[in-house]
Structure 1
């Protein structure tokens, strides 16, 4: 006799992708993908789009060193030429932010490497075309019965976006 079907609850995508990404991150010296995922929050808007953590290289353990003593790592950051110059002046602050993120002195220095970034640049959002009179009248008639002002405005924006892509 067949087993009864069991429904599974939905799982967040991050729970599914995390283990797959972590193997690739370990090859680059990162124990987890947290530093890469939170890089824009760590460096701020000024460097979020123009810099990228590349590798984290840990020094070899010295003989006779205690188990708890870990020397800080060197973080290699990819960037373009002009941004690298500005970033070089703010390295102490960036190292401090990274170590605050980890909660301990994980990074001792940052090495700046001028290489192209591997992520794609974001496209600028497209501006929807204006609706003609017939489309606007149809949209106004559809949402006329909505009394809540915020919901009415949200539905109007959604309707304009949908109708502007048609046609």
Structure 2
């Protein structure tokens, strides 16, 4: 603070007048925290953690097929309504898990903030505010092949000189031998 020439009233420095503190580099999360909070509050999300940590709240499987859109409060009703965005093909599965989702979301808030969950079905290509990206399920890990089937498949493709063709024939033989065994 500097003193004004007219009296003893202190005058704030230039950095204090601008409301900024000179601290050097800041984390991106610190810079965006206020903007994320104001955007979330405009949609009814009092706790932005619900938006930013959606996979942690409901689990990776449900987070892949759902997106929280808004929290609406009705007059005189206890608890808010959480609106989730979901693809029509996944809606029945999500509908069955609504009590579990409600329990987890309320645990995030710390009290029974959500009284009802409604689903909004949409195409995976978008919603009114732009593109809603739904991540596909990860590919299933290949089942291990029994050693005796792998050795029979190798023996079947043994005389082939081309490496790519031999590999394809081994895979085909493994698939055929596996199906016969089942």
Taking structure 2 as the reference length, the TM-score comes to 0.54
Instruction: Note the aligned Cα RMSD (angstroms).
Output: 2.4
Tell me, in whole angstroms, the C-alpha distance in 2 between the residues paired with 1:102 and 1:34.
Answer: 9
Q: Is the 8 Å Cα contact of residues 47 and 109 (structure 2) preserved in structure 1? A: no
Alignment of 1:31 onto 2:31: no
Q: Which runs of 5+ in 1 are unaligned?
A: 63-69, 124-167
Distance 1:9 1:109 in 2: 45
> Following the alignment from structure 2 to structure 1, what is the Cα–Cα distance between the partners of residues 52 and 43?
14
Equivalent of residue 71 in structure 1, options 78, 92, 113: 78
Q: CA deviation at 1:18?
A: 1.1
Distance 1:97 1:7 in 2: 40
Say if 1:26 and 1:8 are closer, same or farther in 2 by CA, change over 3 A.
Answer: same
Cα distance in 1 for residues equivalent to 2:107 and 2:116: 14
State the distance in 1 between where 2:135 and 2:96 align.
27
What does 1:1-16 correspond to in 2, within 5 Å?
8-16=23-31
* Residues 66, 134 of structure 2: 8 Å contact kept: no
Aligned match of 1:47: 62
Residue 120 of structure 1, CA deviation: 3.7
**What SS does the corresponding residue of 1:35 show, helix, strand or coil?**
helix
1:43-122 matches, within 5 Å, as 43-60=58-75, 62=76, 71-115=78-122, 116=124, 118-120=131-133
- Which structure exhibits the higher relative contact order, with contacts defined as CA atoms closer than 8 Å and separated by 6 or more residues? 1
How many residue pairs get aligned? The number is 111
SS at match of 2:108: helix
Secondary structure of 1:82 counterpart: coil
C-alpha distance in 1 between matches for 2:22 and 2:62: 44
Give the 3 Å change call, closer, same or farther, for CA 72–104 of structure 1 in structure 2.
Answer: same
Is 1:18–2:25 an aligned residue pair?
no
Measure how far apart 1:7 and its partner are: 6.1
Give the SS at the match of 1:48. Answer: helix
